[in-house]
Amino acid sequence: MVSFLLIILVSFFFTGFVIRTKSIAGGRKGPGIMQPMKDIIRLWRKGSVYSSTTGFIFQIAPTVYFSSVIMAILMIPQGNSPGFISFEGDFVMFAYILALGKFLMIISALDTGSSFEGMGASREALFSMLVEPA
């Protein structure tokens, strides 16, 4: 369980570290390493705003995406012990769980009814097809 929490915390620090390194390489001071955590706390305090054209899928997609990432993290082996969720063929399940989250985010973008969101969804699908086989 400690490794699960460590993966979650390190992911926030890693994002902040990458942004900070890019800004220093570009000759700027840049945000602090804790900035992604501050942004998440600030965004959790804000209310949700939904368009009148969106449906149920748009509302559940972020939760399903977050759940799929957490489920995938639980399938990663930690050290010598297997993951919390491990069985024969779990690598295939790992790939499908991550694909489910990506699919729902694309469908939720199409659910908005905006042409700009449709273009973004098609771009995301194209990048997913290019990156996922690697």
Amino acid of residue 74: L
Q: Is the pLDDT of residue 132 over 80?
A: no
> C-alpha angle with apex 81: 17 to 64, nearest 5 degrees?
60
- The model's pTM: 0.74
Percent of the chain with pLDDT over 70: 97
Q: What is the pLDDT of residue 110?
A: 86
Tens-place pLDDT, residues 58-105: 889 889 999 999 998 888 887 788 878 888 888 888 888 988 988 998
8: Cβ contacts below 8 Å, ≥ 6 apart = 73
Amino acid of residue 125: A
Q: Is the pLDDT of residue 2 over 80?
A: no
> Where along the chain do its domains lie?
1-47, 49-133
Query: Long-range pairs for 47-55 at CB < 8 Å and ≥24 separation?
Result: 51/112, 51/113, 53/112, 53/113, 53/114, 54/111, 54/112, 54/113, 55/111
